[in-house]
Amino acid sequence: MLVSGGGTTMREILRAVESGLLSRVEPVLVIASKPDAGGIEKALAEGMLKENVLVLRPKAYSSPETFGEAILLECRKRGVDFIGQYGWLPKTPANVVEAYQGMMTNQHPGPLDPGRPDFGGPGMYGRRVHCARLYFVRRAERDFCTEATVQRVAPEFDKGAILGRITIPINPGDDVATLQEKVLP
């Protein structure tokens, strides 16, 4: 699992595995892109072994390819056969996307419409997506909803095939914090 932020979705996946809801999933590795990612503490609190919770900072590598090689090395050591991105901010290196083609998903906190970068793409993550969605809804002066989207990982941000989405209503009193709370698991 690749994380950069609070790790809420990752934590819920770990809990679903522990409860038996995801009985065919065996998490073996959590990679955080920054040392202060809240997902690190959550992974450890949910029982991930410390040696399987790593920090790999993209800027510590000379190129995206060498960053990707570091990710791949850790995945190969543990026999990773599927990668989920949950609040992962760095652009996933092409060599990782290629090595796990069709076996990587990304969770995005907003709607992703093919051909429309309104709520996805570079810089659109976390609370920024919720803020943009609320601004759009209020400018349009209509009732709308937002979505949480799961997609395959592609070489470009938020361009992978959409695998599923859930619709979440936006209420008149919603703000960024309440919308984020609704979208998170």
Decide: helix, strand or coil at residue 85. strand
Of residues 161 and 71, more confidently modeled: 71
Integer Cα distance of 157 and 155 in angstroms: 7
Integer Cα distance of 71 and 157 in angstroms: 18
Question: Residue 51's domain is classified under what CATH number?
Answer: 3.40.50.170
Residue 144 falls inside a structural domain: no
- Could you tell me if 11 and 46 are in contact, meaning their C-beta atoms sit under 8 angstroms apart? yes
Of residues 128 and 77, more confidently modeled: 77
Residue 7 falls in which region: left (phi positive, over 0), alpha (psi -120 to 50) or beta: left
Q: Whole-model pTM above 0.75? A: yes
Q: Please report which helix (H) or strand (E) contains residue 152, including its range.
A: strand 145-152
- Tens digits of residue pLDDT in 42-68: 999 999 999 999 999 999 999 999 999
Residue 123 falls inside a structural domain: no
- Tens digits of residue pLDDT in 20-38: 999 999 999 999 999 999 9
Integer Cα distance of 14 and 161 in angstroms: 25
> Residue type at 181?
E
Number of structural domains, the chain? 1
